Chains A and B, each alone.
Chain A
Amino acid sequence: MQRNKFQWTNIAFQLGAVALALGFTTLVLILADAPPLEAYKNLFVGSFGSIKKFTDVLVAWAPLMLATTGLLVTFTAGLWNIGIEGQITLGAIFTTGVLRVLQDSSAPPTLILTLAILSGMVGGALWAALVGALKTFGGVNEIFGGLGMNFVATALTLWLIFGPWKRPGIGSMSGTEPFPEALWLPQITSLRLSIWSVVIAVAALICIYILLKGTYFGLRLKAVGRNMRSSFILGIPTWQYMMASFLVCGALAGLAGAIQVTAVYHRLIPSISSGYGFLGLLVAMLVNFQALWTLPVALFFAALNIGSIQLPIVLKLDSSLSGVLQGALVLSVIIMEGVRQRFLKAARERS
């Protein structure tokens, strides 16, 4: 009974947070002289208006999910893996590299694709390992290390696109030469979606959920995240566990990059990560360690991204509106959480 009551207040507060975010975004829209209702309608129609649009949302959702599930692991270990953008990028670079080397060989396409995706995971993990090593052996905070590695990853991508991997003739911002269709993850006819990317994303979520909830690894990681010193005294090899969390997150980020190459762009482009790393940080913060919630929340964020694409065309509004709404949502959830804590405290005192 008591528990029920608290659950209801929790839901009320979550709804309150959404309302607050909507209110704030509406205010921004009014200030920008745009009709708010029209804008929201367009967001909705642009993301769920048709099967095609919805599958586009799923195309964005899969890599976002992969990044977020990875971040759940580093969050559990108490680490801010800002370097995830670079890890996605490196995943994409490794995948592209393997595809380029093997595309003219006689190996079966399935084998080539599998190898390419696996090496994408290795690439992401490697980039994350560097951040982890900087932290554990060099004493560089993972936030600064990660930011630095992000810059390096971006520079590396541009160099590859305009240098060794440039299109025949001249390099361009549109990326490297696209791969033949045989080396794409199979897509649903006439849609951009590959069912494989959805399957991989869901499988990753399930694995991470089990890893964090049901294994010694997950429990030890949680302990390290909550109190490193005590964990060490309890016998947990703390730096190895932090390193492992970087590796897992990096591998998942690399997988996201591999999906971007094999299922979405079919080539390496300059902004191959599409900002899903940073967006994933928002989602991970929002779900607050509850792995299963990433599924709907990431879907919602992906929908906002896709829905906002047509805003400039229809309403002459910038598509960054989705970013405003996403940011406002995270902020208001954090604010509402603070209010909720106070409210619960007051309620306990009254009862």
Chain B
Amino acid sequence: MNVELIGIRKTFGPVTANDNIHLRILSGTIQGILGENGAGKSTLMKVLSGFIQADQGLILLDGKEVKIHSPADAIHYGVGMLHQDPLDFPPMKVIENFIAGSPGKIIPNAKEVIARFNELQRQFDFTLDPQAHVDRLTVGERQQLEILRLLWLGAQVLILDEPTTGISALQKLKLFETLRKLAAQGKTIIFVSHKLEDVEQLCHRVAVLRRGQLVGEATPPYRIDELVQMMFGKVVSFGGRESYKPGEMALELKDVSIEDYRMRIGPVSLQARKREVIGLAGMEGSGQLLFLRACTGLIRPTAGRMLVNGKDLTGKGYHTFLKNGVVYMPASRMEEGLVPGCSLMEHFVLARDQGGFFVDWEGAQKIAQEQIAGYNIHGRPDSTVESLSGGNQQRTLLALMRTPASLILMEHPTRGLDIESTLYIWSLLKERCSNQGSAILFISSDLDEILQYSDRILVFFAGRVSPPLDAASTTVDQLGQLIGGRGWDAF
């Protein structure tokens, strides 16, 4: 289906998120949409998929003007969207989720639907269990389910908003294969991303947004520096690796075992020193999350001892860890990090351990302004967090981490951030390491990020933990092998 956007304009109060955007996408194309955080990518996609309405502008599908008032309208016209932040998934079975929202018979024939579901997923080599519960699926599997569901509903245009941020390298390969197949079938794919290499690999065309405007389009072969220049309006230089000077012990694990209903980890021993960055690599659900959460005190280990700054905190709760300088940044921003309905300023007040009974709102305003400037957040002190773009919510999370911290634990610290912000945020984190002597443990599904910023790496596979690897002498290939479960005999 050919998609044409003509003069799309959308403002939120003083912010112009989309400013007179013209874009034409032919059927069978994979169209990339690039742009820095807050450029207006999600807004444009939400306009096309009916989640919000444009102030001005037309949408043409196969040359016919359509008015899309709701996601249901959109899917009726054949436009479906996968969101940047996966919307709430109720505790349903895969097959129930698949059926839900589909028009037609009130009581569908379960057997028939399962057969159709399996037939559909076979086309793309997905192996979802129709009877599994959705909340037990990984982000990548939920994404697969959502794609199948939209196709089942008759989507001809598939919009994916930053689909590669939360999934494993393997799942990414599969996703790309799927998208190529769909494009070959004549479907229109719109792929929103920050990751230039993803766009380079996949997209037939690229459109770049900056500050709400369409600033250019490109076709292969892409020139990366040109794209970066278009996205940010300037040249961005990439830093090299730095070596670290390890300090005293920040975190020490002695034969720690951790368990949940799915797996058992350990016993693991680890010594993380001040100013050290340790990356945790592995496919989603390999145990790295469990491990990280145990280090925050959210999960109690079943055996072993944990020392923070030499102090034994074994079996203590999250808040005790926090008081001892352990700060934690979760991945699901809206569920575990931010409070919808509260403003940026209120968040900064909440995250600080100030004494006294009354809030000094004037002081808070100042602090909020400083943090907003310091972390380059596009928002005002009184903006509610849900009105920020995904990347800006991420910066807010980073800004909320308490200082000084002796140990910083992060899940996907730069998920959803554009390249420039990623560089900037890591420079801030590195600065914390060297100035405040914090040690960092972080999870990332981006192997390049792990190799680039860690000093040592722990690889997780099905609950097994590798000995710490020296990042400088590890290659992407080695890491990829280990993540996939090969080469473990060497340990």
Enumerate chain A interface residues (CB-CB to B < 8 A): 214-217, 219-220, 222-223, 226-227, 229-237, 349, 351
Contact = CB atoms under 8 A, between A and B. Distances in A.
25 contacts: A214-B358, A214-B359, A214-B361, A216-B349, A216-B354, A216-B358, A219-B349, A222-B341, A222-B342, A223-B339, A223-B350, A226-B342, A227-B335, A227-B339, A230-B338, A230-B339, A233-B328, A233-B330, A234-B347, A234-B350, A235-B319, A235-B322, A235-B351, A349-B53, A351-B55
A234 B339 CA distance: 10
A233 B347 CA distance: 12
Nearest to A350: B55
Contacts of B55: 349, 351
Interface in B467-490: none
Contacts of A220: 350
Interface in B318-335: 318-319, 322, 328, 330, 334-335
A50 to B, nearest CB: 43
A236 B350 contact: yes
Interface string B335-347: 1111111100011
By Cβ-Cβ distance, the 4 closest A-B pairs, closest first, are: A227-B339, A226-B341, A223-B339, A349-B53
Interface string B342-374: 100011011101101111010000000000000
Interface string B294-320: 000000000000000000000000110
A207 to B, nearest CB: 12
A234 B358 contact: no
A230 B340 CA distance: 9
B400 interface: yes
B359 A219 contact: yes
Chain A CB count within 10 A is highest, among B328, B330, B350, B354, for B350
Contacts of A214: 358-359, 361
Contact of A229 (B319, B322, B336, B341): B336
B7 to A, nearest CB: 16
A330 B335 CA distance: 31
A343 to B, nearest CB: 14
A231 B339 contact: yes
A282 B79 CA distance: 43
Nearest to B337: A230
A76 to B, nearest CB: 11
Contacts of A235: 319, 322, 350-351, 353, 402
A160 B11 CA distance: 65
B52 to A, nearest CB: 9
Interface string B399-417: 0101000000000000000
Interface of A is mostly: helix
B328 A223 contact: no
B336 A233 contact: yes
Given A216-B349, A349-B55, A232 B318 contact: yes
Contacts of B328: 233
B352 to A, nearest CB: 9
Contacts of B319: 235, 237
Contact of B359 (A216, A236, A351): A216
A223 B334 CA distance: 13
A64 B213 CA distance: 55
A215 B342 contact: no
A237 B53 CA distance: 40
B359 to A, nearest CB: 6
B356 A227 contact: no
A223 B346 contact: yes
Contact of A215 (B337, B350, B351, B359): B359
B33 to A, nearest CB: 23
Nearest to B347: A234
A215 B358 contact: yes
Contacts of B349: 216, 219
B340 A226 contact: yes
Contacts of B335: 227, 229-230
A222 B349 CA distance: 12
A215 B340 contact: no
Nearest to B54: A349
B357 A234 contact: no
Contacts of A227: 335, 338-340
Contact of A233 (B337, B340, B353): B337
B438 to A, nearest CB: 17
A263 to B, nearest CB: 31
A214 B353 CA distance: 16
Contacts of A226: 339-342
Nearest to A346: B53
Contacts of B336: 229-230, 233
A237 B318 CA distance: 10
Given A214-B361, A223-B350, A233-B336, 8 more contacts: A216-B356, A216-B357, A216-B359, A219-B359, A226-B340, A230-B336, A232-B318, A351-B55
B199 to A, nearest CB: 32
Contacts of A236: 350
A214 B361 CA distance: 8
A217 B351 contact: no
